[in-house]
A and B are shown apart, each in its own frame.
Chain A
Amino acid sequence: MKDTLLQFGLTFGLAYLLQLFLPWWSLVVVSAVVALFFRHKYAATSFFVGLLAVALGWFLLAFFVSNSPEHQVLITKMGELFNGLSRTSLIFTTATIGGIMGGLGALTGALGRKLI
């Protein structure tokens, strides 16, 4: 459990930091590399850790950069562009896509670990 939390924290923190400077796909690499250092009974554990860690980062940032009434101007327009999605749906769609990529990265890392 402790390992899982540590992996979660590392993935979250490193992915968040690197994405401030690097393109979005750095999160895939970070999730994979971090997962290499953790051994779980099931590789699926890493998948969920990566998914939640990245999704949380994307969720938090998306939430806070769109959280005041004045931000709604653009968010509403973007929602209309995506078939009328609300801000909440936009945030969840965003977090889900980021999360899936984080999860897949971590899964690949975990499966790689099993080869060693």
Chain B
Amino acid sequence: MKYLYFLLSLALTVTLTLLLNVNNPFGQEVPAVAPLLSPFQGFWQNAKVEKASDYKKLKLKGLQEEVQVIYDERLVPHIFAQNDADAYYAQGYIYAKHRLWQMDIATRAAAGTLSEVLGERMLDYDLLQRRRGIAKAAERATQSWQKAEHYPLLQAYTDGANAYINSLSPKDYPIEYKLLGYAPEEWSVYKTALFQKSMALSLNFRYHDLAATNSLQIFGRETFDFLYPEYNPKQSPVIPAGTVWTTDSTRVIEQDTAANILIGSILPYEPLPMSERGIGSNNWAVNGAKTLSGNPILCNDPHLQLTLPSIWYELQIHTPAQNVYGVALPGFPGVIIGFNEHIAWGITNVGQDVTDWYAIDWLDEQKMTYRFNGKARDAEIVLEEIKVKGRKEAVIDSVRYTHLGPVVYQSEEADYYDLAMHWLSLETPNPSESNTFLALNRAKNYEEYAAALSQYEVPAQNIIFADKKGDIALRIAGKLPIKKEEQGRFVLDGSKQSNEWEGYIPFHEMPYSLNPKRNFVASANQRTTDKNYPYYYNSESFDNYRGRFINRELAAMDSIEIKDMMDLQKSSKSLLAEEALPLMLSYLDQEKLNAVQSGLVKILEDWDYHFQIDEVAPVLFWEWYQNFDRSLWDEIYQYEDSIQILKVDYWKTLEMMEQHALNVFWDQPETPVRETPNMILTSAFEQTYDSLQVRLADKNYTWEEYRGSYIAHLSRSIAPFGRYDLPVDGFKQAPNAVSKVAGPSWRMVVEMGDEIEAYGIYPGGQSGHPGSPYYENMVDKWVEGEYYKLFFMKDANDNRQPVLFEQRLKP
């Protein structure tokens, strides 16, 4: 009996100990309970907040000389080092200290290794990343970077990050590791390359080739050209229209484009995840002729999906070779957007289509060889091993690579084509690519800025520039393919070499603008140039409103002060609404409306096109616009649930009201009558009233409730680590492009006077630790539209602003 009691007790104790020590003990998504709850190692240890003792003197192996780090009131580190390698070592160390889990999860997401730590639910996502070949591309980039002269600087950053990671014991792990039940791993330059690929995914992986091919087949060439013209006559391109192009190249126009486009069956494939349209950015610089002080002012607000921790991290780096301030990205040494003692720069996405699709003509059942230039060519088969938490054996997926790229779309049915993807960001970069921002951080003038940009590859950016001497400029930077007319707009025949990119546009032929007559440079993701630029490029997602609005405002402004620039960044006025609403109202049959509906019309007529949270007019407009769009383009929307189909751009929809009132698309084929614009817009208005009636009965129902806005934690699953219901103005088609989940991820205004005056803010905080007072401390001020005056320290003894901590890192 004694033995039985003992054994029972022993069994119970051991079983419970094991159950409390493993993740997902009953197959559910719960972390191991005891390690999480234990006050010795669990979440209690993360309740600590920053104090001076966390920033005490440290000995770090790998430093050459002592580094001094001064943390200002917002925990922004100001790094004072004797050489650049030490500065980047310190940056890596501090970055990991503040943002380790962010660095980790972002690179796992890029590589497709999330299932290893998050389990089965991420398997499909990982499979997709493997099919897209992201990790392979990062490996090739790393190998190339290793040949660069500046490679030791990338390694120094990595060493610094690892010095921090290796100093951790389990109780010090960031809270996310404890909640998700895994441990940090070392950083590497390869992971830096992975992060770069993840930026490329969100910025230059937007394609519409399949949708366009389907649309072309459904509607025919003539209607396709009517619905989806590439050039908006009202567009105000990044490089001013009328610029004369001095180039020895001429655009190649293939006589028979159609012969190379895949025509036959409608492509049934689902779209791959792409960042939503309207995630863009603004940047501009005005020169002294337009400012009150006579100094140039440069502004930038990149719009990205908003998360906590924020994608950006502020810092200053001071060495004998440079003194630079701005925001950095995880894994990258140096500053990505910012200014130094001589120049300031900012970026927006170029957004040209660099993801092209090719139909593969397999020659055998096993899909081992395909036809190319009339001959058989072997595909390479790569086995991808995906570890899945909770599974004993890894999942193996085989990915076929053609010379064009990975076969991402595969069909089991023989009558559909497999499609290979040629995505620019998968190509092996030049070694010096990773030096772009390091060189830009040290640049002193326009020539050095241009030289830095000549090394840049992906994702292509509009990089603006202003310096103390008074120059302003904007250059398109990045590798961009030379395409024939319409090449890559549709899915192409992969068996012909003539369908491939011929090469890349040489740097000296890339569009740029230096000290233009209009006294400002600006970009907002709109088309790069006017029609006369000799090289063809395409995109179905160029902006048509923010860029035009900003150009119009800047052209009209004079005696500009910093505050005017902030107001423009924060403007929630939309040119789309300004142009669309009067047209929509002109077709509204007001006699048909009841008293309440007429009241709503009055609200719209009085509206100034600002998307402000406390107004109801934006709700009415946007709901009405969308109802109208769906009923006008019902011929297109009928396909949207079954296949990829191209939507008609806003500007074309407006043009329908302005110029094509008799067009056949106004008609709804399923009704016996022939609809007119009056009928469509009036019924869309009534529909709007019907759908909003109940909600509008509440007088507090405004744009704030309708659009909503939040900043989720990067895990998207740990709700208490996010911020919700943010009362912030904005609309995706206004300069202040706040949508439900995206918006200005960093706002910066810099005046290039003798003494630089700079302001900035991002919706987050320097620390990535949810228990830190610096985790989300800037969110409320960002919501209110405020800026912080940036403390650009002259030297380590600069005391114009108060500081929190001072830390010495010793070799």
Residues in A neighbouring B718, C-beta threshold 8 A: 81
**A89 is an interface residue with CB less than 8 A from chain B:** no
Q: Given known contacts A74-B770, A101-B17, is B48 in contact with A108 (CB within 8 Å)? A: no
Q: Which of A59-105 contact B (CB under 8 A)?
A: 61-62, 65-66, 70-71, 73-78, 80-81, 93-94, 97-98, 100-101, 104-105
In the complex, which residue of chain A has the Cβ closest to the Cβ of B713? A77
Check if A62 sits within 8 Å of B35, measured CB to CB.
Answer: no
**B395 is an interface residue with CB less than 8 A from chain A:** no
Q: Given known contacts A24-B34, A25-B21, A101-B20, is B47 in contact with A66 (CB within 8 Å)? A: yes
Alpha-carbon distance between A79 and B701 when the two chains are bound, in angstroms: 31
Residues in B neighbouring A23, C-beta threshold 8 A: 21, 35, 41, 170
Q: Which of B1-41 contact A (CB under 8 A)?
A: 2-3, 5-6, 9-10, 12-13, 16-17, 20-21, 33-35, 37-41
- With a 10 A CB-CB cut-off, give which of B6, B48, B770, B773 has the most chain A CB atoms: B6
Q: Given known contacts A24-B41, A104-B13, is B34 in contact with A70 (CB within 8 Å)? A: no
Check if B16 sits within 8 Å of A77, measured CB to CB.
Answer: no
**Number of A residues with CB within 8 Å of any CB on chain B:** 37
Residues in B neighbouring A65, C-beta threshold 8 A: 39, 44-45, 47-48
Check if A71 sits within 8 Å of B6, measured CB to CB.
Answer: no
Q: Which of B2, B12, B48 is the one whose CB lies under 8 Å from A114?
A: B2
**A111 is an interface residue with CB less than 8 A from chain B:** yes
**A20 is an interface residue with CB less than 8 A from chain B:** yes
Alpha-carbon distance between A2 and B175 when the two chains are bound, in angstroms: 42
Q: Given known contacts A25-B34, A81-B720, is B49 in contact with A71 (CB within 8 Å)? A: yes
User: How would residues 27 to 52 of chain A score, 1 for a CB under 8 Å from any chain B CB and 0 otherwise?
Assistant: 01000100000000001000000000
Check if B2 sits within 8 Å of A115, measured CB to CB.
Answer: yes
Residues in A neighbouring B773, C-beta threshold 8 A: 70, 73
Residues in A neighbouring B46, C-beta threshold 8 A: 74
**B188 is an interface residue with CB less than 8 A from chain A:** no
Q: How far is the CB of B172 from chain A (nearest CB, A)?
A: 13
Q: Given known contacts A77-B770, A115-B6, is B39 in contact with A61 (CB within 8 Å)? A: yes
Q: Which of B12, B37, B775 is the one whose CB lies under 8 Å from A98?
A: B37
- With a 10 A CB-CB cut-off, give which of A32, A71, A100, A111 has the most chain B CB atoms: A111
Q: Given known contacts A94-B39, A97-B20, A104-B16, is B6 in contact with A74 (CB within 8 Å)? A: no
Q: Given known contacts A73-B771, A97-B33, A111-B2, is B17 in contact with A25 (CB within 8 Å)? A: yes
Check if A77 sits within 8 Å of B34, measured CB to CB.
Answer: no
Q: Which of B10, B13, B39 is the one whose CB lies under 8 Å from A62?
A: B39
Alpha-carbon distance between A25 and B21 when the two chains are bound, in angstroms: 8
Alpha-carbon distance between A8 and B12 when the two chains are bound, in angstroms: 22
Check if B38 sits within 8 Å of A114, measured CB to CB.
Answer: no
Alpha-carbon distance between A94 and B40 when the two chains are bound, in angstroms: 11
- With a 10 A CB-CB cut-off, give which of A43, A70, A78 has the most chain B CB atoms: A78
Q: Which of B9, B20, B21, B47 is the one whose CB lies under 8 Å from A75?
A: B47
Check if B17 sits within 8 Å of A66, measured CB to CB.
Answer: no
Alpha-carbon distance between A93 and B37 when the two chains are bound, in angstroms: 9
Alpha-carbon distance between A93 and B2 when the two chains are bound, in angstroms: 32
Q: Which of B576-616 contact A (CB under 8 A)?
A: none
In the complex, which residue of chain A has the Cβ closest to the Cβ of B718? A81
Check if A94 sits within 8 Å of B47, measured CB to CB.
Answer: no
**A13 is an interface residue with CB less than 8 A from chain B:** no
Q: Which of A20, A43, A93 is the one whose CB lies under 8 Å from B40?
A: A20
Residues in B neighbouring A12, C-beta threshold 8 A: none
Residues in B neighbouring A111, C-beta threshold 8 A: 2, 5-6, 9-10
Q: Given known contacts A77-B720, A81-B718, is B34 in contact with A101 (CB within 8 Å)? A: yes
Q: How far is the CB of A93 from chain B (nearest CB, A)?
A: 7
Alpha-carbon distance between A115 and B5 when the two chains are bound, in angstroms: 10
**A9 is an interface residue with CB less than 8 A from chain B:** no
Q: Which of B20, B35, B43 is the one whose CB lies under 8 Å from A78?
A: B43
Check if A61 sits within 8 Å of B40, measured CB to CB.
Answer: yes
- With a 10 A CB-CB cut-off, give which of A43, A108, A115 has the most chain B CB atoms: A108
Check if A112 sits within 8 Å of B6, measured CB to CB.
Answer: yes
Q: How far is the CB of A87 from chain B (nearest CB, A)?
A: 10
In the complex, which residue of chain A has the Cβ closest to the Cβ of B12? A104
Check if A74 sits within 8 Å of B38, measured CB to CB.
Answer: no
Given contacts A24-B40, A97-B37, 16 further A-B contacts (CB under 8 A): A24-B21, A43-B9, A61-B40, A70-B773, A71-B771, A74-B770, A74-B771, A77-B771, A78-B43, A80-B719, A80-B720, A94-B37, A104-B9, A104-B12, A108-B6, A115-B6
Chosen A-B contacts, 10 in total, with CB atoms closer than 8 Å, are A61-B39, A62-B39, A65-B39, A70-B49, A71-B48, A73-B770, A81-B179, A94-B42, A98-B38, A104-B12
For the complex of A and B, list the 6 residue pairs with the smallest distance between their C-beta atoms, beginning with the closest.
A74-B771, A61-B39, A80-B720, A24-B38, A77-B720, A62-B39
Chain B contact residues, CB within 8 Å of chain A: 2-3, 5-6, 9-10, 12-13, 16-17, 20-21, 33-35, 37-49, 170, 175, 179, 718-721, 770-773, 775
Chain A contact residues, CB within 8 Å of chain B: 19-20, 23-25, 28, 32, 43, 58, 61-62, 65-66, 70-71, 73-78, 80-81, 93-94, 97-98, 100-101, 104-105, 107-108, 111-112, 114-115
